[in-house]
Amino acid sequence: MDLAPVTAPATASSLLVDSYGRTIRDLRVSITDRCNYKCVYCRTGAVGAQYPELGNAEYLRLIRQFVALGITKVRLTGGEPLLRAGLLELVRELAQLRTLEGQPLDLALTTNGHLLAELAAPLKQAGLNRVTVSMDAVEAETFERITRVPGSFAAVLGGIRAALAAGLTPLKVNCVLLRGFNDAQIEPFVHFGSREGVVVRFIEFMPLDESRLWTPQMVVPLREVVERIHRTLPLEELAPREPGETARRYALPGGGEIGIVAPVSQAFCGACSRIRLTSDGKIRTCLFSQIEHDLYGRMRAGATDEELRGYIRGTAEKKEPRHRIGEPDFLAPTRSMVHIGG
Ligand code: SAM
């Protein structure tokens, strides 16, 4: 396969820009919708993978088209991306690509961390820059009640430590907060972050669960998280947010920081720079898109690289202005988070 770096001068006309003037620089690719956890707020526990996976060469060809259109950051996700056969080869190939500016991609991966202890060092060697680990409690019993996998807490903790040792940093640990379920973990999580040397980020729960149990009352909003931590640890907001940055960042006394991602209470759609590719090769221009765009179908039908890029460009233009959570006409998407790629 020809994997020559994609390099060309970056010009405004070669970038992906939507009809609201937002430049798309960040691609999230789901490489499987299989997952070895059944987190209670994400999956029903009764439904497995629902969508096909592409081959590595197919993902690569599609990703190269995005990179040729100005994408600088690629995040592999799922499902659980560490379950994917051939992951190291895929990362190795992606690490060879160059942005329009001639730089290596910012190459990241989001994982539940269960298999990370073994894979962290090989992933780093393959060219991965960073990982984000999802972890919704710092107490083993609560954590395993969430994941429904015995022994998961020790495995993920081992994964986080291995990733730090391998240099997959800065390492972010994402915690989705659900009221009355794991919100007692907020303060212990802040201490966990300082102790382990990771950036903890609290995420507001979004209506993307397989069970469709989401209600606004379940969301623990940013303001409440800040107020709670501030009672014992004065927080100072780090401003301004970088373009496309989803988290509001706060400095902790004595060093370190936490982040809060608040898509529900303080949506950041106006600065969104993301586009998604599902495991079966569909483009989603928003987590909450009602429509998917069959890029893989075009490729299967024999489209040239130029035609694929034209299709991506036309699709990106149609990116939704905002997600509409909380509006009367909000409709949850047909795919839930695990099948889209978080
Ligand atoms: N398996 C990987 C992992 O655990 O990080 C990647 C996929 S997972 C779907 C990606 C992220 O989405 C996880 O951090 C998970 O907690 C988060 N997530 C799942 N459902 C969510 C929801 N309804 N609202 C907010 N975040 C959600």
* pLDDT values of the chain reduced to their tens digit, one per residue, 342 residues: 333 434 444 555 689 999 999 999 999 999 999 999 999 999 999 989 999 999 999 999 999 999 999 999 999 999 999 999 999 999 999 999 999 999 999 999 999 999 999 999 999 999 999 999 999 999 999 999 999 999 999 999 999 999 999 999 999 999 999 999 999 999 999 999 999 999 999 999 999 999 999 999 999 999 999 999 999 999 999 987 777 788 999 999 988 999 999 999 999 899 999 999 999 999 999 999 999 999 999 999 999 999 999 999 999 999 999 999 989 889 999 999 999 998
Q: How far is the CA of 86 from the centre of ligand 1 (A)?
A: 22
Question: Is 279's C-beta closer than 6 angstroms to any atom of ligand 1?
Answer: no
Output the six-digit token pair for 48. Answer: 């497995």
- Which residue blocks in 271-304 are alpha helix, DSSP H? 295-300
Question: Is 295's C-beta closer than 6 angstroms to any atom of ligand 1?
Answer: no
Residues 160, 120: Cα–Cα separation, whole Å: 9
Q: Is residue 220 part of a domain?
A: yes
Torsions phi, psi of 329, nearest 5?
Answer: -95, 20
Q: How far is the CA of 338 from the centre of ligand 1 (A)?
A: 7
Q: How far is the CA of 42 from the centre of ligand 1 (A)?
A: 7
**Measured from the CA of 132, which atom of ligand 1 is nearest?**
5
How many domains in the chain? 1
Q: Is residue 219 part of a domain?
A: yes
Q: Is residue 46 part of a domain?
A: yes
Q: Which of 20, 36, 40 is nearest to 214 (CA)?
A: 40
Q: Going by C-beta distance under 8 Å and a sequence separation of 6 or more, which residues neighbour residue 203?
A: 174, 175, 176, 177, 260, 261, 263
For residue 293, the surrounding DSSP H or E stretch is strand 293-294
Distance (Å) of CA 307 to CA 6, 62, 66, 296, 312:
16, 11, 12, 12, 9
Q: Is residue 5 part of a domain?
A: no
Question: Is 340's C-beta closer than 6 angstroms to any atom of ligand 1?
Answer: no
Identify the domain containing residue 324 by its residue range. 12-340
Q: How far is the CA of 288 from the centre of ligand 1 (A)?
A: 14
Q: Nearest C-alpha to atom 8 of ligand 1 is from which residue?
A: 342
CATH number at residue 131: 3.20.20.70
* Ranges assigned E (strand) in 25-83: 26-30, 73-77
